[in-house]
Amino acid sequence: GVGAGSAAYQSAVVTAQDLMAGVPGLGALAQLQAEQLFQIDSADFTDQHLLQLARRVAALCRQDDVDAVVVTHGTDTMEETAYFLHLTVPTDKPIVLTGAMRPGTALAADGPANLRQAVAVAAHASSAGRGVLMVMNEEIHSGRDVAKVHSLRLDAFASQHGALGLVVEGAPRWYRRVERPHGAASEFDIDRIDALPLVGVVTSHGNMRAEIYDSWAALGARAIVHAGFGGGTVPEYLKAPLAELRARGVLLVRCSRTGAGPVVRGASIDDDALGWVVSDDQNPPRARLLAALALTRGGDPTAVQRVFLRY
Ligand X SMILES: NC(=O)C[C@H](N)C(=O)O
Does residue 154 belong to the site contacting ligand X (CB under 6 A)?
no
**CB–CB of 278/263 below 8 Å?**
yes
β pairing state of 199-203 and 171-174:
unpaired
Minimum distance from CB of 8 to ligand X (Å)?
11
Does residue 75 belong to the site contacting ligand X (CB under 6 A)?
yes
91 is catalytic: no
Residues 247-286 that bind ligand X (CB under 6 A): none
What binding mask, one character per residue, do residues 25-44 give for ligand X by CB under 6 A, x or -?
----------------xxx-
Which of residues 253 and 289 has its CB atom nearest to ligand X in the complex?
A: 289
The CA-atom distances, in angstroms, between 250 and each of 17, 120, 207, 226, 244 are 44, 45, 23, 12, 9
Residues 89-128 that bind ligand X (CB under 6 A): 99-100
Rounded Cα–Cα distance for residues 54 and 41 (Å): 18
Judged by CB under 6 A, which stretch of 72-80, 232-240, 272-280, 282-290 contacts ligand X?
A: 72-80
The neighbour count for residue 102, using CB atoms within 10 Å, is: 19
**CB–CB of 134/155 below 8 Å?**
no
DSSP 10: -
End-to-end CA, the chain: 43
Minimum distance from CB of 22 to ligand X (Å)?
15
Q: Give the closest residue to 114 by CA, choosing from 129, 102, 130, 128.
A: 102
Which of residues 114 and 204 has its CB atom nearest to ligand X in the complex?
A: 114
Catalytic residue among 46, 72, 75, 302: 75
Instruction: Give residue number: closest CB to ligand X.
Output: 74
Which of residues 100 and 223 has its CB atom nearest to ligand X in the complex?
A: 100
**CB–CB of 139/166 below 8 Å?**
yes
Q: Where would I find the beta strands (DSSP E) of the chain?
A: 69-72, 95-98, 133-136, 139-142, 146-148, 157-159, 165-168, 171-174, 199-203, 223-228, 251-256, 277-278
Binds ligand X (CB under 6 A): choice among 5, 22, 74, 235: 74
Does residue 11 belong to the site contacting ligand X (CB under 6 A)?
yes
Binds ligand X (CB under 6 A): choice among 47, 76, 189, 214: 76
Which of residues 37 and 212 has its CB atom nearest to ligand X in the complex?
A: 37
Which of residues 148 and 222 has its CB atom nearest to ligand X in the complex?
A: 148
Minimum distance from CB of 257 to ligand X (Å)?
21
Q: How many residues contact ligand X, by CB under 6 A?
A: 9
User: Which residues in this chain contact ligand X in the complex, by CB under 6 A?
Assistant: 11, 41-43, 74-76, 99-100
Residues with catalytic annotation?
A: 75
